[in-house]
Structure 1
Amino acid sequence: MSSFSDFVTVVSGLPRSGTSMMMRMLEAGGIDPVVDGLREANEDNPKGYYEFEPVKALKEDDSWVAGARGQSVKVIYKLVYDLPANVDYRIIFMQRDLEEVLASQETMMRRDGLDPDAIGRDILLQLFQTEVIEFRRWAEAQRNIRIFYADYGRVVSAPEGVAREIAEFLGGPMNTRAMAEVVDPNLYRNRA
């Protein structure tokens, strides 16, 4: 059995798929997050984003990654490819209905004064589907990656069961009750 210090726990998925919620769960369960607090909580993520700015520049500088063993970090799926191959990862990949993801993104874009219709919903939907399939194939073929798929709707409706599954996947003792308690069903605002 491995311990959390043997790998970096990565929370990934599409934008607006529940990655911040999963980071909160892991923190409540006993895994410290790698965050910088630069992006503050707002109406779209009232409990915080749990982001770490250097993730965006992984391709240029991944020197911090090995030091994140035993912790969790949020890495959008497109940037997981840039994580160094000499480190082991346990990825919790958030899956959410793509219509819900798009609805949530559109709401956030409108709040930010952007036009979500500029690209086209059907194009985005197709792009996300293709990219997620490609990512899953790639991730499952990597020797240094183990992946757990967490369905957003199931996390919200059955958080204790999912918390237990995550603890088993990560192979260490976690406070699964505390993990379940941080899930707020009231934040499930964009439903398909």
Structure 2
Amino acid sequence: MDQAITIVSGLPRSGTSLMMQMLESGGMEIVTDNIRTADADNPKGYYEFEKVKKIKHDSSWLKNTRGKAFKAVSMLLYDLPSEERYKIIFMKRNMDEILSSQKKMLERLGNKSGPDDDEMQRLFTVHLDNTYLWLKRQKNIDVLYISYNDLILDPLTAAKTAEQFLGGNLNVEKMAGVIDRSLYRNRGKNE
């Protein structure tokens, strides 16, 4: 693996924690602070690093993540300093599943109100379209898009694709072995 900074990104509830778990199992060093612990919504953990949320104002820690991986929701990608090289694994997921998963998580946290699904879908779609265009224009960023839905159906192929993208030094069998289909609970309307 080279000294690019690896970032697992996507919308909230798109499978970013699962991909972080795969990278860790495959032998990649990950950056997490374990402040947000596992719960019913992410029984295997969130793999978050709180400093990422403040990257716009303080990126001094970023150089220490070269050759490692951390997770950042897609809204934060715009704040990445341009002097670093990044490899981004961008998780995509059926929008109905994202919305269903997010709604269930918010309800468990006691928040029963919020924008309706149609409005959230519109906002997320606009955000994703803009993010994809922005990523294409970044000369210091390589992106691999992985479908969460395909990953669940064929974990070994997704693991091999990610491993090759990152330089070919990860254990793909261990990466694929972390998939627990019983945790695929929020399925789209057409499934």
- Per the alignment, residue 27 of structure 2 pairs with 30
Provide, for residues 3-38 of structure 1, a one-character-per-residue CA deviation record: whole Å limited to 9, x for no partner.
33x201100000000000000000111111100010
Q: Which runs of 4+ in 1 moved over 3 A?
A: none
1:83 pairs, out of 58, 80, 85, with: 80
Structure 1 contact 65–83 (Cα < 8 Å) conserved: no
Partner-residue secondary structure (3-state), 2:33:
coil
What residue identity is the alignment partner of 1:20? S
In 2, Cα distance between the equivalents of 1:77 and 1:17?
A: 10
5+ residue gaps, structure 2, are none
Provide, for residues 112-153 of structure 1, a one-character-per-residue CA deviation record: whole Å limited to 9, x for no partner.
00024x311111000000100100110111010000000001
2:173 pairs, out of 173, 177, 183, with: 177
- Per the alignment, residue 118 of structure 2 pairs with 122
In 2, Cα distance between the equivalents of 1:64 and 1:87?
A: 12
Percent identity of equivalent pairs: 45
- Per the alignment, residue 68 of structure 2 pairs with 71
Aligned CA-pair RMSD: 0.8
How many residue pairs match? The answer is 188
Q: 1:183 offset after TM fit, Å?
A: 1.1
Q: 1:173 offset after TM fit, Å?
A: 1.3
What residue identity is the alignment partner of 2:180? D
What residue identity is the alignment partner of 1:17? S
Structure 1 contact 31–72 (Cα < 8 Å) conserved: yes
TM-score under structure 2 normalisation?
A: 0.96
In 2, Cα distance between the equivalents of 1:81 and 1:172?
A: 28
